[in-house]
Chains A and B, each alone.
Chain A
Amino acid sequence: MSTDFDAIVIGAGHNGLVAAGELARAGKRVCVVERADVPGGMARNVTSGDGVTAPQIAHLLYNLAPDISRTLGVETRSLPTIGLSPDGRHVLLQAGDLRFADGEAHPEAAVFAVLHDRLTRFAALLGQLSDAPPPKLMEGLAGALSGLRDIGGLAKLGLNLKRMGKAEMREFLRILLSNSYDVLLDELNDGPVAGVLAADAVRGAWSGPRSPGSVFSLIYRLGQGGDVRLPMGGMGAVMAALEKSAVDSGAALRYGSGVASVDIEGDRVTGVTLEDGSKVRGRAVLSSLGAAQTMLLAGPSHYDIETVRRLRNVRSKGTVGKLNLVLKAVPDIPGLTDAQRGARLVVAPSASYVEAAFNPVKYGELSAEPVLEVIIPTLTDPSLCDDGRHVMSVNCQFLPHVPKDGWTEAARGTAQNRIMATLGHYMPGLADHVLQAELLTPADIETLTGAPGGHWHHAELSIDQLLTVRPVNGLSRYAFGVQGYYLCGASAHPGGDVTGQPGRNAARQLLRDGVLS
């Protein structure tokens, strides 16, 4: 196997694979280096060996960039969202449509349609910023010719903003930096509809719906229209397709050994040294790891003191745990038809409930009643399990990255019991159906994948860590200090979720910067 490449990509998560594919398609010799034996990172499938395949951590596609999605050839199914209500009057949300799960009209349907329409339009407006590196304000405004393109992008945003009309523009600017709790409850009652939206606003985040900036994250989640899609074959199938796409374009894969260090000569990368001691040479290195880890691989001595300080202080405390259950049968969910059980089920009966679930995590404690996002992928995709068994995949918020007293067995037990008890309200008898249960805390997810803090976005998606300051001031345009070194993971612009955008943008920026020409 060759050990001399144009570019080396660290990490075979989705962003790493997208970056590798992008570079390989541009005719560059690319090698993807991955610590694990399989690709996927946070979006892996896990196979128990006895006929059960399940999405290990991430389980749905919220936001995959359409141009990336089109090229993959993986079938995905759009899932409706059902907000579970303690009184059994569950609500069904699909795009802008809202009704009760039993088919009855919902009194807030009209209000919801208007709100959904507005938020998705705002999302499309902001979405255009996701496809390119963040604007280069300082240098651009200083009159550098190279900045004109960026100014163009901003001008386009401003123009599109104006085009929405005065009232809409005002509304956009009014709510953009505010909190989702207030914005939602201006329009909706504090019930399951507001609850679902509030939960989506803070999914993956260390914040509650009352935190400023949670409107932005709600809009971010609606970036591609808010459609939630289940890939057939699990998230692992998407990863396999991304991997295949990269390999078909000529990328080499080198799995099973992580990168020990990035090699640098004269402020320019020359390759990487793997944990097994071998070296791979490359003129460019793209890291899909967290921003601070990426700095550490090169070594702090290659960075300015201010940069290291900023990177050390990137906020990335994960709050999402994952409970994977293997069930002998799907439990009844009173209030839902059998088919509706295959939807995305959200336990967030009100926005206040979501806020109350967030509060304890600030103090290193577990939510008393967690916010849950539940799917039973085997109802849509029976190929994942044999023997009539089913998989239930539960995203649980809020679990502290590390509780006050650490993740002791007792703490894990408490977390799992609370999740099961919460599920039990809506699925009586669930406990009797469970064959296997595996809880992954944010700390476990960090250990498994290397994602800093086990954080969904590698770095909190908050106003102080967005756009020109994502991951930190001075490193927002993918180039990462040392010449030829690039950040292509979720901590780069625009951020997390399985979108592929940071990976694609980073690869394109590398090509534009002329490092490989």
Chain B
Amino acid sequence: MSVAHVPLGLIPGPFHDRLLALSRTQNWVDWAGYLSPGVLDTAEFEYFAIRNQATLFDISPMHKYRITGPDSEAMLNRLVTRSVAKIGDGRVGYVMWCDEEGMLIDDGTLFRTTSQDFRLCCQEPMYSWLLDAAWGFDVEITDESHTVAGLSLQGPTSWSVLKDAGIDVSDLKPFDWREVEDGLWVSRTGFTGDLGYEIWVPWAGATDIWDRIWTAGRMWGLRAIGYEALHLARLEAGFIAAGLDFQPVHAAMRLHRGRTPIELGFGKMVHFDKGHFNGRRALLKQRETGPRFMLVKLDVGGFKPAQGALIYHRKRREVGHVTSGVWSPTAKRNIALAELKAPFGVTRTSDLWAEIYVNEEGRWNRRMVPVTIEDKPFFMNKRARATPPGAF
């Protein structure tokens, strides 16, 4: 009897050969078991390429599921908190889904082809949950995590890169998607808040599309990037990340680590009027009793990144902590996402302070800096929404 070889350790993704050739740092991180670049060259170069040129990031380790069949829309409407009926054909929606207690399991993007054909793209493995969610519905769930590869092409020149690669997506509005060539899907989506696209192709032979874009990108400043640069950009855009800004409740081992969409500041994503969805009754109760926590965007005083800092009210009472904090090179501000215990962040929003520890060449210093709650993302640029986009 022969036993199939099971690879040990991290395994290469579909674009690994290309990334390996570009990696000066050999800085690899574990993303869902795949070798994923943390940094290829320097995080700063890569970050500024997102905001000034164009960048390629391999998002193949994302989990991807295909949902097909007559009940697809109904099944997904019961799964996620927002109304799937309001996502048009050929559109993409940001979605969240909860457990029965209203705690967030994961968030992701839902790609709608028709009411009977969807793709769900997310961070956490979700196949068994989707199978449970599909019981009683006439749908088929296919795990495409290892058969569909994804590339995120982000940055002001990304449209121009695609154009020179012979891919015309001029008419694609934000959150549109379509099959531009046989087996080549493009969506105008991303995790940077900038102009950008995500490109979906079959896993086998995925390097063809990489090479085609890479060649077209030479004159447009295209760079390959790693996770660190993306982390800066996504925080500027105000996007939350699983495992950092919320703990996916199925993966959390401790009690009471789950958070509801309302507590993450996404109350508008919970459509109570669309019929039953998972966790609806629990969330309805929370709408009445109020959230226990609130995830907020913070403008932090000073320039030292506030990652992990505790938040105080009147410098005395501990009321929360920073879940992600960076210096934003584009906004030139010290920005963060922080979780505050209600009523802080809900009704009490002033006199808040972050306690930041800095190591100054071997000596630790503590700084209490004022923080201000912000409503809007820290980075917003019209080019992200322009249709047709220009050669920014």
Residues of chain A having any CB pair with chain B under 8 Å: 267, 296, 299-309, 312, 474, 481-482
Query: Is B324 engaged at the interface, CB distance under 8 Å to the other chain?
Result: no
A300 touches B281 (CB 8 A): no
Q: A267-B281, A474-B100 are in contact. Are A303 and B135 (CB under 8 A)?
A: no
Q: Looking at the complex, which one of B100, B129, B276 makes contact with A302 (CB distance below 8 Å)?
A: B276
Q: Looking at the complex, which one of A299, A302, A306, A312 makes contact with B99 (CB distance below 8 Å)?
A: A306
Which of B78, B79, B276 has most A Cβ within 10 Å? B276
Q: A305-B132, A306-B100 are in contact. Are A300 and B137 (CB under 8 A)?
A: yes
Q: Looking at the complex, which one of A296, A304, A306, A474 makes contact with B136 (CB distance below 8 Å)?
A: A296
A305 touches B276 (CB 8 A): no
Q: A267-B281, A306-B100 are in contact. Are A301 and B74 (CB under 8 A)?
A: yes
**Set of chain B residues within 8 Å of A303, measured between Cβ atoms:** 276
A301 touches B276 (CB 8 A): yes
Query: Is B133 engaged at the interface, CB distance under 8 Å to the other chain?
Result: yes
Q: What's the minimum C-beta distance from A174 to chain B, rounded to whole angstroms? A: 31
Query: Is B278 engaged at the interface, CB distance under 8 Å to the other chain?
Result: yes
List 11 A-B residue pairs with CB atoms under 8 Å apart, sorted by A's residue number.
A267-B275, A267-B280, A296-B136, A301-B75, A304-B281, A305-B78, A305-B79, A305-B133, A306-B100, A308-B136, A312-B135
Give the number of chain B interface residues (Cβ < 8 Å). Answer: 19
Q: What's the minimum C-beta distance from B106 to chain A, rounded to whole angstroms? A: 13
Residues of chain B having any CB pair with chain A under 8 Å: 74-75, 77-79, 99-100, 129, 132-133, 135-137, 275-276, 278-281
B135 touches A300 (CB 8 A): yes
B100 touches A300 (CB 8 A): no
**Set of chain B residues within 8 Å of A474, measured between Cβ atoms:** 100
**Set of chain B residues within 8 Å of A301, measured between Cβ atoms:** 74-75, 77-78, 136-137, 275-276
B136 touches A309 (CB 8 A): no
Q: What's the minimum C-beta distance from A290 to chain B, rounded to whole angstroms? A: 15
Which of A302, A305, A307 has most B Cβ within 10 Å? A305
* Residue of chain B at shortest CB distance from A267: B276
**Majority DSSP secondary structure for residues of A touching B:** helix
B135 touches A304 (CB 8 A): no
A308 touches B100 (CB 8 A): no
A308 touches B280 (CB 8 A): no
Cα–Cα distance between A301 and B72 once the two chains are bound (Å): 12
**Set of chain A residues within 8 Å of B132, measured between Cβ atoms:** 305-306, 308-309
Cα–Cα distance between A312 and B131 once the two chains are bound (Å): 13
Q: A299-B136, A474-B100 are in contact. Are A304 and B279 (CB under 8 A)?
A: yes
B278 touches A300 (CB 8 A): no
* Residue of chain B at shortest CB distance from A308: B135
B135 touches A309 (CB 8 A): yes
Q: What's the minimum C-beta distance from B250 to chain A, rounded to whole angstroms? A: 11
Cα–Cα distance between A302 and B100 once the two chains are bound (Å): 12
**Set of chain A residues within 8 Å of B281, measured between Cβ atoms:** 267, 304, 481
**Set of chain B residues within 8 Å of A306, measured between Cβ atoms:** 99-100, 132, 278
Q: A305-B100, A305-B129, A307-B100 are in contact. Are A300 and B136 (CB under 8 A)?
A: yes
Cα–Cα distance between A305 and B280 once the two chains are bound (Å): 11
Cα–Cα distance between A307 and B99 once the two chains are bound (Å): 10
Q: What's the minimum C-beta distance from A311 to chain B, rounded to whole angstroms? A: 10
Cα–Cα distance between A474 and B100 once the two chains are bound (Å): 10
* Residue of chain A at shortest CB distance from B282: A304
Q: What's the minimum C-beta distance from A139 to chain B, rounded to whole angstroms? A: 12
Cα–Cα distance between A308 and B280 once the two chains are bound (Å): 15
Given A301-B137, A481-B281, 20 other A-B residues pairs in contact with their CB atoms under 8 A: A267-B276, A300-B136, A300-B137, A301-B77, A301-B276, A302-B276, A304-B99, A305-B79, A305-B100, A305-B129, A305-B132, A305-B133, A306-B99, A306-B100, A306-B278, A308-B132, A308-B135, A308-B136, A309-B132, A309-B135
* Residue of chain B at shortest CB distance from A265: B275
* Residue of chain B at shortest CB distance from A483: B281
Cα–Cα distance between A42 and B135 once the two chains are bound (Å): 29
Q: What's the minimum C-beta distance from A226 to chain B, rounded to whole angstroms? A: 40
**Set of chain B residues within 8 Å of A300, measured between Cβ atoms:** 78, 135-137
**Set of chain B residues within 8 Å of A482, measured between Cβ atoms:** 276
Cα–Cα distance between A52 and B280 once the two chains are bound (Å): 54
Q: What's the minimum C-beta distance from B285 to chain A, rounded to whole angstroms? A: 12
A304 touches B137 (CB 8 A): no
**Set of chain B residues within 8 Å of A302, measured between Cβ atoms:** 276
Cα–Cα distance between A306 and B100 once the two chains are bound (Å): 7
Ranked 6 nearest A-B pairs via Cβ:
A300-B136, A304-B100, A306-B100, A301-B78, A302-B276, A305-B133
* Residue of chain B at shortest CB distance from A303: B276
**Set of chain B residues within 8 Å of A305, measured between Cβ atoms:** 78-79, 99-100, 129, 132-133, 278
Q: What's the minimum C-beta distance from A483 to chain B, rounded to whole angstroms? A: 9
**Set of chain B residues within 8 Å of A309, measured between Cβ atoms:** 132, 135
**Set of chain A residues within 8 Å of B280, measured between Cβ atoms:** 267
* Residue of chain B at shortest CB distance from A481: B281
Cα–Cα distance between A309 and B129 once the two chains are bound (Å): 10
* Residue of chain B at shortest CB distance from A309: B132
Which of A267, A301, A312 has most B Cβ within 10 Å? A301
Which of B133, B136, B137, B280 has most A Cβ within 10 Å? B136
Q: What's the minimum C-beta distance from A515 to chain B, rounded to whole angstroms? A: 15
Which of A267, A307, A312 has most B Cβ within 10 Å? A267
Cα–Cα distance between A306 and B99 once the two chains are bound (Å): 8
**Set of chain B residues within 8 Å of A307, measured between Cβ atoms:** 100
Cα–Cα distance between A299 and B74 once the two chains are bound (Å): 12
Cα–Cα distance between A302 and B77 once the two chains are bound (Å): 11
**Set of chain A residues within 8 Å of B75, measured between Cβ atoms:** 301
**Set of chain B residues within 8 Å of A296, measured between Cβ atoms:** 136
Q: Looking at the complex, which one of A267, A304, A312, A481 makes contact with B278 (CB distance below 8 Å)?
A: A304
* Residue of chain A at shortest CB distance from B135: A308
**Set of chain B residues within 8 Å of A304, measured between Cβ atoms:** 99-100, 278-279, 281
Q: What's the minimum C-beta distance from B365 to chain A, rounded to whole angstroms? A: 43
* Residue of chain A at shortest CB distance from B105: A305
Q: What's the minimum C-beta distance from B97 to chain A, rounded to whole angstroms? A: 9
Cα–Cα distance between A481 and B137 once the two chains are bound (Å): 19
Q: What's the minimum C-beta distance from B303 to chain A, rounded to whole angstroms? A: 45
Cα–Cα distance between A304 and B281 once the two chains are bound (Å): 9
Q: What's the minimum C-beta distance from A309 to chain B, rounded to whole angstroms? A: 5
Cα–Cα distance between A481 and B78 once the two chains are bound (Å): 14
**Set of chain A residues within 8 Å of B129, measured between Cβ atoms:** 305
Q: What's the minimum C-beta distance from B258 to chain A, rounded to whole angstroms? A: 13
* Residue of chain A at shortest CB distance from B77: A301
Cα–Cα distance between A423 and B278 once the two chains are bound (Å): 54
**Set of chain B residues within 8 Å of A267, measured between Cβ atoms:** 275-276, 280-281
Cα–Cα distance between A474 and B99 once the two chains are bound (Å): 13
**Set of chain B residues within 8 Å of A312, measured between Cβ atoms:** 135
Q: What's the minimum C-beta distance from B302 to chain A, rounded to whole angstroms? A: 42
Which of A296, A304, A306, A308 has most B Cβ within 10 Å? A304
Q: What's the minimum C-beta distance from A305 to chain B, rounded to whole angstroms? A: 5
Q: What's the minimum C-beta distance from B299 to chain A, rounded to whole angstroms? A: 38
Q: What's the minimum C-beta distance from B314 to chain A, rounded to whole angstroms? A: 30
